[in-house]
Amino acid sequence: MASTMDQEMVPNDIRSHFSKGFGPAKVIKKTTGLYASKRFHCQLLLPLSIVIVSFVVGILYVHDCPSQSYIPIYLIVQGAVGLFIFVIHLVAIVYIIYIDKYKYQFITLIAFLSAFLILFLFVWFIVGNISVFSIVKRVQFNDQTNIGSYCNGVLYQTAFWLIICTYIMSIYFCCSFACIPQSRKSPTNGIIKIKKQIPKIKRMLKD
């Protein structure tokens, strides 16, 4: 009987965590806390520097890689989209902290827009990998007359090392999310609470 009662309580327990962790008021509070946190601002510096360097180098050397003309285009688009994401989040920070109307709807809009742009950047990153690494064995930086293998050294090496930095940054953020305890202000805190209940739920179902 006790086991049956425990099993009946499981959906209510999960529902309780969802309602506490993902209600409109809670989402607004956690998002506001996230945007106001110093850790969030510090974590923005590395990706912000990557997109700025991408955009500037791509613009400066847009015609200087005849062996793979997609490399400067890759850098320009990556930089432009990345900067746009930062701009909308900057607007979101100002709106959420200082404006009281329609906060939940605004957060939802920003979340969907950001998710779409990040998905686009992920696909574009794969395109960039193909463009950069497809000529890694034949690229040279000296003979501009050999258009089959010439690419400006600054342009190519910037694209190459920015890709490496992106891989390192992705690993860091994944480890940070998985290993570093999330604060109560974190919007993922509700998910973590539910994950912590999974072993308890499994034990209840086995009994």
pLDDT in tens, 45-67: 788 888 999 999 999 999 999 99
User: Taking residues 188-196, what's their average pLDDT?
Assistant: 48
Confidence at residue 160, expressed as pLDDT on a 0 to 100 scale: 95
CA distances 138 to 141, 146, 155, 165, Å, are 10, 11, 15, 23
Cα distances (angstroms) measured from residue 48 to each of 62, 80, 115, 151: 21, 11, 17, 26
Q: Is the pLDDT of residue 98 over 90?
A: no
What pLDDT band is residue 2 in, cutting at 50, 70 and 90?
Answer: very low
Check: pTM over 0.75? Answer yes or no.
no
Quickly state the pLDDT bin for 176 (edges 50, 70, 90). low
| 68 contacts 130 by C-beta, under 8 angstroms | no
Q: Is pLDDT above 60 for 26? A: no
Confidence (pLDDT) at 155: 95
Q: Which band of pLDDT confidence, cut at 50, 70 and 90, is reported for residue 5?
A: very low
